[in-house]
Amino acid sequence: MISVEWDTMLNPSVQIMNIQHSKIAECINTINDEIVDMQHSCTHINGLLDQFEQLCQMLFMYEEQLLEEVNFPSVAEQKHLHDLYLKSIEQFKAENYQCHTASFFNGFIKLRVDFLSNMNKETMILCDMFMNNSRGDTTVTSH
């Protein structure tokens, strides 16, 4: 099984986000393992998907808070992307009861890829920006 690995080179100022990412990665890997292991119940897997959604929700809320603090120009667009992603997790749960089927597995791979390629990349951009903004200053100033 391929594990998700995370860049741990983040500035301490965004360490909370790093911890959140680690928890999400752990959750993604657990769900992945349970889908391919027939011994796990679909109810349990759906519970893990709830947990995954909650973790994403917390990460996004924190991100949005940081974006507002640094006056990010497209906060609304970011919030929209987050909402769409949370909705895609919700829909994935609602539409699938056959949790060990190939289609369910492929659906989860798509969620993983979307998180890694879009959500994570965009978070890294935010972290870079946050680091640059707070360089030479220990706090991000509000106005």
Residues that bind Fe ion (CB under 5 A): 63, 122
List, in sequence order, the alpha helices (H) in 4-142: 15-36, 42-69, 75-95, 102-114, 121-134
Q: Which is nearer to Fe ion, 36 or 61 (CB)?
A: 61
Whole-number Å distance between alpha carbons of 9 and 131:
12
Q: Which is nearer to Fe ion, 41 or 65 (CB)?
A: 65
Q: Which is nearer to Fe ion, 46 or 133 (CB)?
A: 133
Give me the least distance between CB of 29 and Fe ion, in Å please. 20
Q: Which is nearer to Fe ion, 46 or 88 (CB)?
A: 88
Whole-number Å distance between alpha carbons of 4 and 116:
9
Give me the least distance between CB of 33 and Fe ion, in Å please. 26
Which residues make Cβ contacts (< 8 Å) with residue 66, sequence separation at least 6?
A: 14, 17, 126, 130, 140
Whole-number Å distance between alpha carbons of 29 and 23:
10
Give me the least distance between CB of 13 and Fe ion, in Å please. 17
Give me the least distance between CB of 32 and Fe ion, in Å please. 22
